[in-house]
Structure 1
Amino acid sequence: MRLPGTIEKLSALISRNSISSVLPEYDQSNEAVVHLLANWCRDLGFEVVIMPVEGNPGKFNLLATLGTGSGGLVLSGHTDTVPCNPERWQSDPFTLTERDGRFYGLGTCDMKGFFALVLDAVEECLQHEFHQPLIILATADEESSMCGARALTRDTGPHGRYAIVGEPTSLKPVRMHKGIMMESIRLTGKAGHSSNPALGISAMDALHDVMGELKNLRLDLAQRYENAHFAVATPTLNLGCVHGGDNPNRICATCELAFDLRALPGMNNDDLRNEIRRRLTPIAEQNRVELTYESLFPGIDPFEEARTSELVQMAEKLTGHTSDAVNYATEAPFLQKLGMETIILGPGNIDQAHQLDEYLAMDQITPCVDLIRDMIRHFCQTPAQS
């Protein structure tokens, strides 16, 4: 059975609102997108499992498998998008619009377009025998909590040998990316009349010292760790937002700082958290404030796949590009933890992601379908060597 054409599939995916957000007023279920993909996969002969994400009502992962065997290839992507501002778009973000050699719509690039092109490639491969399984994985909430990918490490995840995460890389293979931590520090002192500092304990004064120490940490990390493969070659630490106090004539009783830290491959998020606590605890004691330190979400580990891996080498051969490193984070570490060689490789440019008038350039479509088809043929349809 043949599926709808590329444009029809992409249009149907874009029309289904699957925004994920940490703000409940924007957050939507991804169920409609998952069921649409499930139906298409069943029509192509896949065995399909839809898995509710525990503790996240309305959120689902999809696992579709074609063929059997101990190896195989996983083609993975997320079904959600970021929020958008429809009133600022030139066209309806939920209606696929063709203009100037581009397909506009929320998720065209990041990353519903990948699924449409994967299914195109699968159709081209169906006339050949599958010696190893092909697995299509569609996850929930990558843009907010990554709860879908995290659930795979707890539940029955895909059991392929190789995995491609189809984030927009302009069809250039990516084998490394930084991790990300988003952390919160809350300092609690004592309010008092500002005319007499002895009447209170200023959490804001203490925060000044805390921020200074985090800036010292940023410099230390930059001196200790460097990777020239990255455009930003050192770890980064961004002091993102501060909230505290309530009036100029009142000693600030509580103050909170949120920051992010993006670590290089080879660094460990938990080790960094321990170092931060070790550095900040004496500062809180010296300032006589209570310090509460917590992670705003579990974080994403740094990712690196060996340059010598078969998957990396095949991706470099088929694309003609040397594998690269990026500063943003993906679901790749979660798949790698399941025992698979993993890379990031997909259509579209990351510069279009999360932007007004997001688009997928039409000239990415045929090369992407050809690339995925060749990957399927190599990893799933080539008989194993005896």
Structure 2
Amino acid sequence: MPLPSTLEKLSALIAENSISSVLPEYDQSNEGVINLLAGWCRDLGFEVSIMPIEGHPGKFNMLATYGRGPGGLVLSGHTDTVPCNPEKWTSDPFTLTERDGKLYGLGTCDMKGFFALALEALEQVRDKTFHQPLMILATADEECSMSGARALSQSTGPGGRYAVIGEPSSLRPVRMHKGIIMDSIRVTGRAGHSSNPALGINAMDAVHEVMGELKNLRAELAENYRDAHFAVQTPTLNLGCIHGGDNPNRICGSCELAFDLRALPGMSNDDLREEIRRRMNPIAAQNNVEMSFEQLFPGVEPFAESENSALIKEAERLTGYTSVAVNYATEAPFLQNLGMETVVLGPGSIDQAHQVDEFMALDQIEPCVNILRNLIERFCLTPARD
């Protein structure tokens, strides 16, 4: 039985609801997407392994391997999407819809489309001799927790030497991105009647100082760290949301501030978290409040691949673009930490990701397949180099 066409594959992937979310009412399993990919890969001659994510029921990674030998190329992507508002879409987000030279659907560019194009690239060369393996890696929950990539990082990994992460980059190679921390600081004072401040300890007053110190840290980071490769050349620290108190005539007994911090390559998330805690301790003592810290998710480290990397040079040659740096985070540092040269390179624009009426332009398909086919030829059809 012949395999579905590239557009038929993409249509089937889009039809599988694999939304991941920190809110249980929106969160879905990615098993349907994994099973589709596994079936197609087996039909193409891959050896397929499906790995449940411990502690995350209904979530799976998949590793499919074609060919044998040392090294090899990993084509990697995540199987989940962000939540959506179907009532705001022009067409059903779970039905692939073509109009005006674009393919619309939830996950078309971010990033189910990459899998369909990767399999098309393999079909064009699979009758040739593979000296190094090609691996298709599909992960879970990139959009909310990166639990799939984290689980992979605790294993031996796919074992490849080079990795392409097919996030939407408009087919421009990305070799650097910022890290991300999302944390909260909870301040606990003591509630009381607002007519007499001595009856309580106002947590919101202390959070005012917390915010001031985080703004001081933001200014110092911007002064001391800069990388001209990035459009936003300094680290950023955003005070995102604040919740506290329950009534105007009651002393605020508890207040929580959540923020994100995006560090440049060469900086450490752990060091930044430690610095924040160090700066908060005097504020807690001076205001006689308790202070607790929570990681809203474990974070992603900054990523940078050498501009002299063989993979980066080949990606630049094939695309005609010099590699760039971006402000968003991906699974790249997890694969790089497993010993692989890594690049982010995929069809579609990041501007369309997480948007109503997400789409991938049809004119991205053939160039992407050609690039991936050439990468397979370079890193799988030629003998491994020392």
CA contact (8 A) 1:175 1:312 kept: yes
1:192 aligns to 2:192 (yes or no): yes
The one-letter code sitting in structure 2 at the alignment partner of 1:222 is A
In the aligned structure 2, how far is the partner of 1:201 from the partner of 1:269? 32
Cα offsets for 1:130-165 (capped at 9, x unmatched): 000100000000001000000001124210000000
Cα offsets for 1:104-134 (capped at 9, x unmatched): 0000010000000000000001121000010
1:149 aligns to 2:149 (yes or no): yes
Pairing 1:1-386 to 2, within 5 Å after superposition:
2-384=2-384
Aligned partner of residue 220 in structure 2, secondary structure? helix
TM-score scaled by length of structure 1: 0.99
CA contact (8 A) 2:193 2:250 kept: yes
Residues 56 and 385 from structure 1, CA distance in 2 versus in 1: closer, same or farther, beyond 3 angstroms?
closer
Aligned partner of residue 227 in structure 1, secondary structure? coil
In the aligned structure 1, how far is the partner of 2:4 from the partner of 2:112? 15
In the aligned structure 2, how far is the partner of 1:385 from the partner of 1:48? 26
In the aligned structure 2, how far is the partner of 1:62 from the partner of 1:3? 19
Cα offsets for 1:9-55 (capped at 9, x unmatched): 11000000000000000000000000000000000000000000000
TM-score scaled by length of structure 2: 0.99
Aligned partner of residue 121 in structure 1, secondary structure? helix
Cα offsets for 1:297-326 (capped at 9, x unmatched): 110000000000100000001110000000
CA contact (8 A) 1:2 1:123 kept: no
Structure 2 gaps, min length 5: none
CA-CA distance at 1:384 after TM superposition: 3.7
Residues 257 and 384 from structure 1, CA distance in 2 versus in 1: closer, same or farther, beyond 3 angstroms?
closer
In the aligned structure 2, how far is the partner of 1:150 from the partner of 1:196? 50
Identity over aligned pairs, percent: 74
In the aligned structure 2, how far is the partner of 1:3 from the partner of 1:376? 20
Cα offsets for 1:201-254 (capped at 9, x unmatched): 100000000000000000000001000110100000000000000111111010
Aligned residue pairs, count: 386
In the aligned structure 1, how far is the partner of 2:4 from the partner of 2:80? 21
CA contact (8 A) 1:91 1:97 kept: yes
Aligned partner of residue 296 in structure 1, secondary structure? strand
Structure 1 gaps, min length 5: none
In the aligned structure 2, how far is the partner of 1:268 from the partner of 1:117? 35
In the aligned structure 1, how far is the partner of 2:45 from the partner of 2:188? 59
Cα offsets for 1:327-356 (capped at 9, x unmatched): 000000000010000010000000000000
Instruction: Give the ranges of 4+ consecutive aligned residues of structure 1 lying more than 4 Å apart after TM superposition.
Output: none
CA-CA distance at 1:385 after TM superposition: 5.4
In the aligned structure 1, how far is the partner of 2:362 from the partner of 2:240? 37
The one-letter code sitting in structure 2 at the alignment partner of 1:98 is E
CA-CA distance at 1:192 after TM superposition: 1.1
